[in-house]
Structure 1
């Protein structure tokens, strides 16, 4: 990062002490296996202004008082939440093909035993750590797809992430597909596109449409004590009053956004405090808050739910969770202290809390899990798997045709595999295209260049 210019005039950063910015570090799995889960970050005028200003103008949520109205004319579609499982989820463990005889031949030491799998159909079963998802599946709010991925195998973290988030193979288009999705919905609010859980947006949000990236909603707060918050906000707005619109507009928008976020967090905190008092014998709370896992994933989904319920106009939300690159020591399916078991248990608990928290709002939310590639069909000699191809995906929402497995299972027979790995029978863009058409009211060509034929039957039309 270039050093800050020296100047006698105080900068926005000078007036906002304590703001911590980071570009995202590799997950723990990088240290375990030597793979770098980092991502190249796109630098643009938008990202410099939006990141430096929107990230820096932060408020202490508890004393934010102003609520800003963010009207959403012209968009009546779902909030599309993309949950990226960074590092390469082992879909053959998460959604195990326990009815495929080649599965146990290829993975004699790490395969999920059929006796503990949560059977979905005649072939596939959920890992036991995903048991909390069974109720959502049976209620029709959760669907499963297998053999999902890109049309061409790519086993490099960097280039696979880049290509998946660009979603424009064979073209020179450099924007991210979520940015194009948001741009296709017309003008919206500052919350139209958000990255929750990190202060640098994913490559899928790269492009001309502005996005708001934050670590936690509580972090959208001026680092000030007591009544200094108002003084700092006033000083910032005064500085911006005569500034070039190129700088003033995004900065003022950011200040408005943090006021709104602060009000939402303050209300959320008040509800939690009231529930805590009720637990001690105080006045009962009509709607006690949903308890999320304390993990980064759980807290990021909690923030997304808060924005959706708060009517901020979120159209696209990106959430990342890493540490899926399990080359070594994945752990047995029955090992509750194992690496994979712990990751899947957190994923399940976070998704269940997210659905419960949204309540009726789940009807206008569509969440899709994606990972840059799957894992090798065969286990390696270190109790893990290496970079593979086809993968599993979960789809959650009120508009999902749930309670079933979609797509085509290609089998793990030698002649069916690609480079020895699970083949891809569903282009991930086709899955997303169906969501865009049926839930977001967009044409696939608005987002994906070339010919992308949507899947059929995964979503209900709004």
Structure 2
């Protein structure tokens, strides 16, 4: 007999312990999509101290205390350089497998964390509200056979771009705990002697899905030991990147893996926390790259970073930066055309004390949809956007 304790236990287990289905499995003709790894720089990364205009005197004037001197940066050309913590990514830059999008944003930027990330997640404009993610709409449009999961979340349990009633996202923060959870669930026991209650039936059906999905994923993941993945850093982001590679090495058919790093909400004493986060980001990506190349999977993977907004060019009185607009982002992979895309925003032409974006983030999304997944962006994005030449055929 299922009681109130069972409902609370099983109804919450999927959302908070191991699996987080956001909807039903998509169905249709089989279409396997190459892997997209989305890395959310949660909290609003400061782009001006990530890709640094070290030769611009206005940069030094606007950031007399938190800015970087020319001899501190990793120089890429005569104007721009990378934060020194991003040195591991220079291997990708030198191999022409790192694209850097400069000044990414959108018109009428919203500086709210909640609203800002919602705009990036739904790919709509600042005047329209929606909850369904742009990737979720793309996966529904692509169709495909039922999978163990349409998307896997590592880190922050925020479905964001894969939020939908029509696909299933799985939160896989702790594979060992997921293994215990899926073994413990007994949907048949829950229904035994239970009244014909819609809520009870829905919970039981959900837990049956959780059990099957959990068992399938764990069975696959158990076939890949750590020794097969190479060496990864031991910080949280490094472990997430290791788990992402484990999914790929295990042959799990999951088109999207979303990973979170942050918080980059650096209002106070920015330099040290941002340096730590960027160093972990670069180390995790570099370890993943080396492992993917060893498995001959690097050409089948595209990594793209995103964040809800950039930060203001002028440092604040607390040695930090406040919510802003445009910021750079990265794309990496074996089929990426390395180099700069868009233009570095001018520091002497500001709008409301913020940098003016030189590229729209939906141009990047359009390119991912068309050139990575072979999908038309109609009905997925708000409006029509030009592609960006950062992917090889």
The TM-score with structure 1 as length reference comes to: 0.75
Aligned equivalent of 2:334, options 387, 394, 398? 398
Which of 277, 292, 308 aligns to 2:232? It is 292
Residue 321 of structure 1 is matched in structure 2 by 261
Q: Does 2:16 align with 1:21? A: yes
Moved more, 200-209 or 360-369: 200-209
Listed one character per residue, the Cα deviations across residues 425-462 of structure 1 (whole Å, up to 9, x for unaligned) are 1111111111111011111224203222222x11123x
- Offset of residue 173 of structure 1: 3.7
Distance 1:12 1:214, change over 3 A: farther
Structure 1: distance between partners of 2:51 and 2:4: 57
- Note if contact 1:146-1:393 (Cα within 8 Å) is conserved in structure 2: yes
Any residues of structure 2 matched to 1:13-52 within 5 Å, and which? 14=9, 21=16, 50=21
Whether the aligned pair in 1 keeps the contact of 2:220 and 2:251 (CA below 8 Å) is: no
Q: Would the alpha carbon gap of residues 108 and 73 (structure 1) be closer, same or farther in structure 2, given more than 3 Å must change?
A: same
Give the structure 2 partner of residue 191 of structure 1.
149
Cross-structure match for 2:177: 219
Which among 356, 361, 382 is matched to residue 318 of structure 2? Answer: 382
| 1:448 has 2:381 as partner | yes
Pick one of 67, 73, 79 that aligns with 2:35: 79
Distance verdict in 2 for CA 1:151–1:53, change over 3 Å: closer
Alpha-carbon distance between aligned partners in 2 of 1:339 and 1:371, rounded to the nearest angstrom? 17
Match of 2:132 among 175, 184, 206: 175
Does structure 2 retain, via aligned residues, the 8 Å contact 1:100–1:123? Answer: yes
**Distance in 2 between the 1:390 and 1:448 partners?**
20
Give a deviation string over 1:160-196, Cα, whole Å, max 9, x none: 1122212212445431112112212203413221211
In structure 2, relative to structure 1, the CA distance for the partners of 1:240 and 1:146 (3 Å cut) is farther
> What is the deviation of 1:73?
5.7
Q: How is 1:8-407 mapped onto 2 (pairs within 5 angstroms)?
A: 8=3, 11=6, 14=9, 21=16, 50=21, 74-169=30-125, 170-187=127-144, 188-198=146-156, 200-208=157-165, 209-223=167-181, 229=183, 232=184, 235-236=186-187, 250-268=206-224, 271-272=225-226, 288-331=228-271, 338-359=272-293, 360-402=296-338, 404-407=339-342
Post-superposition offset of 1:148: 0.4
- In the alignment, what sits opposite 1:439? 372
Determine if contact 1:154/1:160 at 8 Å carries over to the other structure: yes
Distance in 1 between residues matched to 2:318 and 2:100, nearest whole Å: 29
Give the Cα–Cα distance (whole angstroms) in 2 for the partners of residues 181 and 20 of structure 1: 23
Name the CA distance, whole Å, in 2 between partners of 1:450 and 1:342: 37
- Which consecutive unaligned segments of at least 5 residues does structure 2 have? none
Aligned partners of 2:265 and 2:202: how far apart in 1?
Answer: 41
Alignment CA distance shift 1:412-1:261 (3 Å): same
Q: Residues 240 and 408 of structure 1: is their aligned pair in 2 closer, same or farther, counting only changes over 3 Å?
A: farther
**Contact 2:229/2:242 (CA < 8 Å) preserved in 1?**
no
What is the number of equivalent residue pairs in this alignment? 382
What are the superposed Cα offsets for residues 250-295 of structure 1, whole Å, 9 maximum, x if unpaired? Answer: 4333222222222233233xx34xx5xxxxxxxxxxxx53222222
Q: What RMSD, in angstroms, separates the aligned Cα atoms of the two structures?
A: 3.2
CA shift, 1:22, in A, is 7.6
CA distance in 2, matches of 1:89, 1:182: 28
SS at match of 1:410: coil
SS at match of 2:297: helix
